[in-house]
A and B are shown apart, each in its own frame.
Chain A
């Protein structure tokens, strides 16, 4: 019963890729991560998971986030297949 419920939860979870760049990639020791979140999860929920990672204490409390290459707010809902990126302070030019 429990197993069945867990399987159903995974079935309708949100599986996506998270990208880290520059100082954030250095802090977390990786440039990419695949995550599965509960259905209905937002950017805010994803950030909570990222904050639990070793090295995440070096990140600011509310880093900028892009979903599918566009800046997105904390309330942005996530969908399976999304490409989420944490964007360190930009320094082009």
Chain B
């Protein structure tokens, strides 16, 4: 018996994300586990009070790269289904910016697949965010320059640079 292909869905949306609908879109009786990852707008970043985030994207490429992330999860973890929705536009504190659902026969594949998907999305999908701060200023977020967490100076900079969708080498950063 051949295994049915993984169901994949990737979408940029301009409306609130319905997490229950994203979970429902990967529902399948072959799955014994479903993992959901939600990214939400946090009230601080790098010690600054954030009041909201404005997301924008290169839509055609972003959806293509999100689908490539789904395919990568499919190839690595053999899930039953993968769905990614990313919201763009003006988001308020607590709003869901991204939802990733992975259904799998087993729990490890579901959890690891969802984790891999968000890491790859953050690395290669052309989406940008401009944070609005409590002092009235706003700035484009540059994860390669942030002074905290995994992006700090001395971290492995190779993973900061997206890989091309093809096998072509990238220009030096």
- Which residues does chain B contribute within 8 Å of A87, judged by CB atoms? 58, 126, 162
Interface membership of A14, Cβ < 8 A:
no
User: Is B164 a contact of A70 with CB atoms below 8 Å?
Assistant: yes
Contact indicator B168/A21 (Cβ below 8 Å): no
- List residues 108-144 of chain B with CB under 8 A from any CB of chain A: 118, 121-130, 140-144
Question: Is A64 part of the binding interface, using a Cβ–Cβ cutoff of 8 Å?
Answer: yes
Closest chain A CB from B155 CB (angstroms):
14
Residues of A within 8 A of B142 (CB): 23, 88-89, 91
Among A21, A23, A62, A72, which residue has its beta carbon within 8 angstroms of that of B58? Answer: A21
CA distance A26 to B142 in the complex (A): 14
Distance in angstroms from B87 CB to nearest chain A CB is: 10
Please tell me the size bucket of the interface on B. Answer: 35 or more
* Chain B residues, CB < 8 A from A21: 56-58, 126, 128
Question: Does B163 have its Cβ within 8 Å of any Cβ on chain A?
Answer: yes
Per the 8 Å Cβ criterion, residues 56-72 of A in contact with B are 60, 62, 64-66, 69-72
Separation of A19 and B58 alpha carbons in the complex (Å): 9
Closest Cβ–Cβ distance, residue B69 to chain A (whole Å)? 10
Q: Across the two chains, which residue of chain A brings its CB closest to B68?
A: A70
Given A85-B58, A88-B128, A93-B122, decide whether A69 and B168 contact each other with a Cβ distance below 8 A: no
Known A85-B61, A85-B126, A92-B97; 18 more pairs at CB < 8 Å: A21-B58, A22-B130, A23-B142, A26-B140, A64-B161, A64-B170, A66-B61, A69-B60, A72-B168, A73-B164, A73-B170, A85-B58, A88-B140, A89-B142, A90-B126, A91-B127, A92-B128, A93-B39
Q: What are 19 contact pairs spanning A and B, CB under 8 A?
A: A21-B58, A26-B140, A66-B126, A69-B58, A71-B162, A72-B168, A74-B171, A85-B58, A85-B61, A87-B126, A89-B144, A90-B124, A90-B143, A91-B128, A92-B57, A92-B122, A92-B127, A92-B128, A93-B122
